[in-house]
Amino acid sequence: MLTVSNLTYKIANRIILDDCSVTVMDGWKVGVVGLNGAGKSTLFKLIAGEIQADGGTVGMNVKQRLGMVRQDIPETDTSLLDLVLEAHEELAQLWKATETESDPNKIAEIYQRLSDMDAYSAPAKASRLLTGLGFKEEQLQEPFSSFSGGWRMRVALAASLFVEPEILLLDEPTNHLDLEAIMWLETYLASYPHTLLIISHDREMLNKCIDHVIHVDKQKLVLYTGNYDTFERERAAGLGLQQKIFEKQQAERAHMQKFVDRFKAQANKARQAQSRIKALERMDLVDAVIAERAVRFKFPDPEEIPSPMLSINRADVGYTEGVPILRKVNDNIDNDDRIALLGANGNGKSTLMKLIAGKLDVMSGDIFRAKKLRIGYFSQHQTEELDVESTPYEAMAAMMRKTIPEVREPVVRAKLGAFGFSKTLADNRIGSLSGGEKARLLFAFMSFDAPHLLLLDEPTNHLDIDAREALVQALNAYQGAIVIVSHDPNMVERVANRLWLVKEGTCMHFDGDLDDYRKYTVKARREERKEEKKNKNSEAKKADVSPPSMVQHKKAEEAEKKIIKLEQKKKALETLMSAPDFYKGDSGEISQTQDQYNKILEDLESHETEWLQAQSG
């Protein structure tokens, strides 16, 4: 049980948490939610003891272990698998003790404890965690130092899951994951055997994984029972907003139904109509509750151009001549398409986006773009390229003047205003903006000229739940085409009407929805594991017919290792039996020790014979 009692924390004179109390029972799975800056991560640091409270206490059972994802794994050449195994300190110490301990009684205790901990299945468990988070089986023996930051965070997450602490704290665990890894993690966390506290902006994950919510709001902690959507409904009812929002939503539903009735029979509007039908079916009061409080923005609608606006014909694309990332890409984008690109990180989704955006040329084949086609491109890395000393107004004015040299100030401010930038906010330094505000600024930049096609590569990385809902609403209201890469399942389900799967150097249509894709990824992983097992068996058979010298050398090494361990045990028993009072003890124990000693002598003789035969073979 985790108990927070009268907790207060201040930064300078600013109160972050004020006299907060909450109790989390064993086995609860709790989502910790609230606006950015409300104090969610601060609460985790206080629970973990990383910072000291100004008042109050955090208490838990002394026998319970607390776990968090490490942010500071040092540079090391240790393999991924070994790094995860070493994260369980007790397990690692026990295995080390089997090589150094000489007391036979202690050796027996060590092996019993290892058995109780199911230690012999630990490597298989660590492998499952790493492959579930997106690593290939062959990568598990590669050194940690050979992986980039995002992949290192996956290793750190796997390590914290492997330890299975009685209280696990996860702060935005999906930040460095792709959609496929998130789907796996949702399933894993839903059946986590102990207490879980998770901070996440992924509404889908919170709905699937949690049974309680702690809302960090106005310096207080408020506990709710149920998943995230249940929390939103209860909170809306408590604030007296439910009826107002329901009426507003019904008006929106009627407006969408009119669009469906009008256009579902027209070929050029059929996809948009289908998209609206899907939105109608999924329309939920919670969506409206979140949208009501979120900062709203709107992408400007372009004039219509003929379809297809873009056509890719048997194109190879990549970065190094003769080494394409994707081969024979063959597809069209129409002016009413809403396409989500699926596929694990590293398969080429961003490469395809760059090709469509015109930032990469084809190596072979060709690409056609409509003459008047305008494209807006958002990349997850653009945030780092913003001029932090400039203001949103100055940056937008400079961008617009490239195409409209005489653009007037009211026009620039109107473009920013459509994305929630007041005059005051537009005149602040970009460096002082929050992650969500910077993302909105990039949305304003990419769409100031009303593009026909929006390309969005991980647009939700810096957005909280409210801002994500605002983005969904803005995209669904936009009248152009969209291609999106997102690890947010909720966004993909509610925005996309077509799915393209980028995998193994190809891009193909995926016939189905995200639920079908979840089943597809589970089946694909199962098939991969079967294939890997088959390959291992095949390699084992090849080893059996290896040159005699190699086989014999391996046998000699194995026999030598066994001899060394047996000699250590023999020496420990001899020390025990030579003690003056050994034969004064229990006769049964004396007999058992002597039998054990005789068995070691027999085994030693057997393995020494094996070693001699291997050496002479």
In a domain, 16, yes or no: no
3-state DSSP percent of the chain in helix, strand and coil, to 5: 50, 20, 30
User: Mind listing the pLDDT tens digit for each residue in 229-249?
Assistant: 899 888 877 766 555 656 665
Q: Do 195 and 218 share a domain, yes or no?
A: yes
What SS3 class is residue 327? strand
Among residues 465, 495, 511, the one where a domain terminates is 511
In a domain, 172, yes or no: yes
Pairing relationship of beta strands 498-503 and 338-342 according to DSSP bridges: parallel
Residue 205: Cβ-neighbour burial (10 angstroms; 0-12, 13-18, 19+): buried
The predicted structure's pLDDT at residue 549: 47
Please compute the mean of the pLDDT values over residues 512-532 and round it to a whole number: 80
**Full residue range of the structural domain in which residue 573 is found:** 548-616
Residue (of 250, 314, 318) closest to 280 by Cα position = 250
Q: Name residue 23's beta-bridge partners.
A: 3
CA distance 591 to 2: 50
Please compute the mean of the pLDDT values over residues 477-489 and round it to a whole number: 92
Q: Do 353 and 464 share a domain, yes or no?
A: yes
Where does the pLDDT of residue 294 fall: very low under 50, low under 70, confident under 90, or very high at 90 and above? Answer: low
Among residues 459, 488, 511, the one where a domain terminates is 511
Which one has a higher pLDDT value, 552 or 324?
324
Please compute the mean of the pLDDT values over residues 73-92 and round it to a whole number: 88
In a domain, 136, yes or no: yes
Domain CATH for 560? 1.10.287
The predicted structure's pLDDT at residue 545: 43
In a domain, 409, yes or no: yes
Q: Do 80 and 143 share a domain, yes or no?
A: yes
Backbone angles phi, psi at 4, to 5 degrees: -105, 120
In a domain, 425, yes or no: yes
Q: Do 150 and 209 share a domain, yes or no?
A: yes
Q: Do 343 and 479 share a domain, yes or no?
A: yes
Which one has a higher pLDDT value, 363 or 553?
363
Q: Do 175 and 92 share a domain, yes or no?
A: yes
pLDDT of 392 strictly over 90: yes
In a domain, 421, yes or no: yes
Among residues 511, 538, 561, the one where a domain terminates is 511
- State the average pLDDT for the chain: 84
Where does the pLDDT of residue 550 fall: very low under 50, low under 70, confident under 90, or very high at 90 and above? Answer: very low
Where does the pLDDT of residue 89 fall: very low under 50, low under 70, confident under 90, or very high at 90 and above? Answer: confident
In a domain, 301, yes or no: no
Q: Do 95 and 153 share a domain, yes or no?
A: yes
Domain CATH for 47? 3.40.50.300
Residue type for position 611:
W
What is the torsion angle, in degrees rounded to the nearest 10, for the CA atoms of residue 373, residue 378, residue 382 and residue 387?
70
Which one has a higher pLDDT value, 38 or 72?
38
CA distance 425 to 408: 19
User: Mind listing the pLDDT tens digit for each residue in 8-55?
Assistant: 999 888 899 999 999 999 999 999 998 877 889 999 999 999 999 999
Q: Do 64 and 163 share a domain, yes or no?
A: yes
Please compute the mean of the pLDDT values over residues 312-328 and round it to a whole number: 93
What is the torsion angle, in degrees rounded to the nearest 10, for the CA atoms of residue 285, residue 286, residue 290 and residue 293?
50
pTM of this structure: 0.72
Q: State percent of the chain over pLDDT 90.
A: 43
User: Mind listing the pLDDT tens digit for each residue in 404-454?
Assistant: 899 999 999 999 998 889 999 999 999 888 777 888 899 999 999 999 999
The predicted structure's pLDDT at residue 109: 85
Please compute the mean of the pLDDT values over residues 82-87 and round it to a whole number: 90
Q: Which residue has the tokens 């409509």?
A: 370
In a domain, 165, yes or no: yes
User: Mind listing the pLDDT tens digit for each residue in 250-261?
Assistant: 666 666 666 566
Which one has a higher pLDDT value, 595 or 4?
4
Q: Do 348 and 493 share a domain, yes or no?
A: yes
DSSP sequence for 478-534: --SEEEEE-S-HHHHHHH-SEEEEEETTEEEE--S-HHHHHHHHHHHHHHHHHHHHH
CA distance 242 to 240: 6
Q: In this structure, how many other beta carbons lie within 10 angstroms of the beta carbon of residue 145?
A: 11
What is the distance in angstroms between the CA of the first residue and the CA of the last residue of the chain?
62
Where does the pLDDT of residue 466 fall: very low under 50, low under 70, confident under 90, or very high at 90 and above? Answer: confident
Q: Do 32 and 135 share a domain, yes or no?
A: yes
The predicted structure's pLDDT at residue 360: 92
The predicted structure's pLDDT at residue 385: 80
Q: Do 253 and 153 share a domain, yes or no?
A: no
The total of structural domains in the chain comes to 4
Q: Do 502 and 369 share a domain, yes or no?
A: yes
pLDDT of 197 strictly over 80: yes
Backbone angles phi, psi at 5, to 5 degrees: -125, 120
- Chain Cα centroid distance, residue 24: 25
